[in-house]
């Protein structure tokens, strides 16, 4: 009901209000500022000086000789050499899951400086359970990793731990640990 009343007041005498707004005098535009254009004689001198050849500069330009080599080709050669050397630097797996997990082909070797998921979890859990024997230095040496990366791995990544919290009451339903 309220929308009808509002619509009636909004549309009341609409045509007269529109014609009154249209018939009002339009505001005048602001005056343009005067622009001082250079005389056409100066413009022709500038055009002539631009088009004129400067012989001393041309002689200097002819005396310049530039030898360049393509840096992209040199970078491509070094990257190919690095790729070949990286392929040669592989290490055998230290630990893997038995069977064919997730339907993937079983890996036999890994590039140095890399870990598989199972190796990473094994290293993290062994460090978590025995930090005195599995130090970052020993893990870095065992898996051919950088010491800085190994320290960062042990600091920022923690394997999951399943903890079953006993209920407060005896008759509450509880999942049995396997």
38-47, 110-119, 169-178 — most confident range: 110-119
Residue 103 has pLDDT above 60, yes or no: no
Contact 107, 96 (CB under 8 A): yes
Task: Kindly report, residue by residue over 68-102, the tens digit of the pLDDT.
Answer: 777 777 777 777 776 666 556 777 776 666 665 55
Residue 61 has pLDDT above 80, yes or no: yes
Residue 36 pLDDT exceeds 90: no
Query: Percent of the chain at pLDDT above 90?
Result: 12
Decide if pLDDT at 10 tops 60.
yes
pLDDT at res. 86 = 57
CA 73 to chain CA mean position, Å: 26
Residue 171: CB atoms within 10 A of its CB come to 6
Instruction: Return the residue matching tokens 């509450």.
Output: 172
Q: Where is mean pLDDT largest: 62-66, 73-77, 145-149?
A: 145-149
Contact between residue 124 and residue 154 where contact means Cβ atoms under 8 Å apart: yes
* DSSP secondary structure letters along 78-97: HHHHHHHHHHH-EEE-S---
Contact predicate 118/159, CB 8 Å: no
| pLDDT attached to residue 45 | 79
Residue 147: per-residue pLDDT: 93
Q: Give the closest residue to 107 by CA, choosing from 86, 130, 91.
A: 91
Give one DSSP letter per residue of 41-86, joined into a string.
HHHHHHHHHHHS--HHHHHHHHH-------HHHHHHHHHHHHHHHH
Rounded Cα gap, residues 14 and 8, in angstroms: 10
- Any residues with CB less than 8 A from the CB of 94 and at least 6 apart, and which? 119, 122, 142, 143
């Amino acid at each position: 009901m309220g929308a009808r009343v509002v619509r009636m007041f909004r549309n009341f005498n609409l045509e007269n209000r529109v014609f009154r707004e249209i018939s009002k005098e339009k505001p005048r535009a602001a005056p343009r500022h005067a622009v001082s254009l250079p005389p056409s004689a100066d413009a022709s001198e500038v055009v002539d000086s631009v088009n004129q050849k400067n012989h001393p500069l041309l002689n200097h330009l002819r005396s310049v000789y530039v030898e360049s080599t393509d840096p992209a080709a040199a970078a491509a050669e070094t990257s190919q050499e690095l790729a070949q050397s990286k392929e040669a630097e592989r290490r055998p797996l230290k630990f893997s899951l038995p069977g064919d997990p997730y339907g993937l082909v079983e890996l036999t070797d890994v590039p140095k400086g890399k870990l598989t998921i199972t190796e990473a979890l094994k290293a993290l859990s062994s460090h978590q359970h025995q930090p005195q024997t599995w130090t970052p230095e020993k893990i870095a040496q065992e898996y051919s990793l950088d010491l800085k990366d190994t320290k960062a791995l042990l600091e920022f990544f923690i394997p999951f731990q399943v903890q079953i919290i006993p209920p407060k009451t005896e008759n509450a339903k509880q999942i049995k640990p396997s």
